[in-house]
Structure 1
Amino acid sequence: MMRRIWRHLKRDPLALACVLLLLLLALAGTLAPWLAPHDPLLVSWRDKFQGISLTYPLGTDHLGRCVLSRLLFGIRTTLFSALFAMTLTLAIGTLLGAIAGYFRGRVDGALMRLCDVMLSFPGEVMIFALVGIMGPGLENIVLAMVLVKWAWYARMVRGIVLQYSDCHYIQFARLAGGSPWYIFRRHLLPVTAAELVVLATTDSGAVILLLSALSFIGLGVQPPVAEWGAMLGEARSVLMIHPQQMLPAGLAIVATVAACNYLGDSLRDMLDVAGRRDSQHSG
């Protein structure tokens, strides 16, 4: 699958640029303590609203804090937290969906009824409600996202497992004494991985946007922690006199979400072409 994705990326320069952008952001977030020119939490009233200079490459905010330093450390809070939430969601959804699709019966019925309950409410509304109940904070946001989103992935994985679990090579693996975990890891997971990668890539952009929105309205990451949505919320109070304060964090969010969405759409097109080609060969 990775070779297929790499061949597709070489034919789509814009998708490859999106991958490079996300990798550079991840690298910059990892190396933030060494790349940041200043302490992102250091307040200096004398230096507030400084313009672009060698000392402050992106200027300073209303508290005199280095905007570039906060932007770099914000990668850890925004991007890494979104990736962590997606990883947990994929792990839980894949495991429960595989269990439901493989064992069927009462286990499948119970898990799917639970999924029906979770999917009967709009996801964003549920996340806002859970965060409102549990209180603001990064941990509560991640927990709320995982609790709401796992059901969608579980239902999708279950459908794929049901589609392939009666294939001849799966039946042969059962007769040969393969354990359910071996069969899923060896035979079923590869056919679900491609679709999971596409959906998770696109959904990561939505998670980043939602995390930033919650921080923007005060339900997410709390000051003085550096986070892109929180930086936008702080800049909102000086929008009329210093509108440039909105640009660094706003552009970072737009670029990251756009990269995730375009990359997901590009990979989906790759799967659609591969699926049509397989259908023509089988026909």
Structure 2
Amino acid sequence: MNISSEPPVVRESMVRTPPEKRAGRLRLRGARLAGFLLLMLRNPLTAIGSAIVLMLMLVAIFAPWIATHDPLAQDLANALQAPGAAHWFGSDEFGRDVFSRLVYGSRITLYIVALVSVTVGPIGLLLGVVAGYYGGVVDTVLMRITDIFISFPSLVLALAFVAALGPGLEHVVIAITLTAWPPIARLARAETLSLRHADFVSAVKLQGASSLRILLHHIVPLCLPSVIIRITMNMAGIILTAAGLGFLGLGAQPPDPEWGAMISAGRRYMMECWWLVTIPGLAILINSLAFNFLGDGLRDILDPRTE
């Protein structure tokens, strides 16, 4: 048995230490993130939408330090006060500070938007990808179920679910989730139909890859950009649906400060105390537009077909 005494050939890539590789990957990711943010800032509407969404998140996180009053504290002696130095956005019929209730209401709004979004994304993506890839009976059954949900207006369907489950914030999240996944499933299915017969999928099949591996490693990553865009644009609808349910008294229950419920309570004094309806209404409008602007910007960046 001959044992060569020559030293092994050591390539440059073999002597690189793992920390150096990690640092290189981090630099690459940082450069990509910087380029992504630069593209976002080039579009004025996208920049405005991103700034408003970021502001909403900061207000929700730092609400105890931003609010000037306890949002639940009643002061009947100062009820229905107009906006001024004591109450920046006025006070409601119980003397509660509208600005503080608006600030704490952002927490409820962001909670609903975040929880619904992280739930409907995987559900819609999974059902759409499975239906589009396997086709046949699986596709027919899943898409007919999707059609049933899509055939009803989302607010009406959410209202029916909340009426069955009962009022409450958690039930609102469940109801909106059950109405928000069908468009995402439709989109994921359409993306999968355009990919399942692609050459790279056929090549992976010839290599013996399983259907699960093809879906998880090849189909799903290519569907993610479109799904993320759709979820972002759906957030505006989630805000409006949550506000509608709150207006009807089916969302967060009193005395919790929820924007839709604030409008509902203030409509009785709308003619004399305009701020009770106008200010929370503007908050709903501005944040809904912000998510739409953000979604449009993400579409321009992530979807090459918009070029």
Q: Residue 255 of structure 2 corresponds to which residue in structure 1?
A: 224
Higher alpha-carbon Rg: 2
User: Would you say the 8 A contact 1:5–1:267 is kept in 2?
Assistant: no
Q: Normalising to structure 2: TM-score of the pair?
A: 0.81
- Say whether 1:26 aligns with 2:57: yes
User: Which residue identity lines up with residue 186 of structure 1 in the other structure?
Assistant: H
Cα 1:179/1:29, change in 2 over 3 Å: farther
Written as runs of structure 1 = structure 2, the 5 A alignment for 1:137-148 is: 137-148=168-179
Q: Which residue of 1 aligns with 2:88?
A: 57
| Distance change >3 Å, CA 112–CA 14, structure 1 → 2 | closer
The equivalent of 1:208 in structure 2 is: 239
CA distance in 1, matches of 2:280, 2:215: 42
Distance (Å, rounded) in 2 between the aligned partners of 1:238 and 1:97: 47
Q: How many residues align?
A: 276
What is the aligned partner in structure 2 of residue 78 from structure 1?
Answer: 109
Which residue is equivalent to 1:275? 305
Deviations 1:152-187 (A, max 9, x none): 211221121121122222233334344544433432
For the residue of structure 1 that corresponds to 2:226, the secondary structure is helix
SS, match of residue 269 in structure 2: coil
1:117 maps onto 2:132 in alignment? no
User: Is there any run of 5+ residues in structure 1 with no aligned partner, and where?
Assistant: 278-283
Pick from 178, 183, 188: which aligns with 1:157?
Answer: 188
RMSD across aligned positions (CA): 2.3
TM-score normalised to structure 1 length: 0.87
* Structure 2 match to 1:281: none
Report the counterpart of residue 272 of structure 2 in structure 1: 241
Secondary structure at the counterpart of residue 254 of structure 2: coil
Q: CA deviation at 1:56?
A: 2.9
3-state SS of 1:237 partner:
helix
Q: Structure 1's 3 and 275: CA in aligned 2 closer, same or farther, altered over 3 A?
A: farther
One-letter code of the match for 1:10?
L
User: Which amino acid is the alignment partner of residue 224 of structure 2?
Assistant: A
Distance 1:98 1:188 in 2: 8
What's the counterpart of residue 25 of structure 2?
none
Match of 1:88 among 119, 130, 141: 119
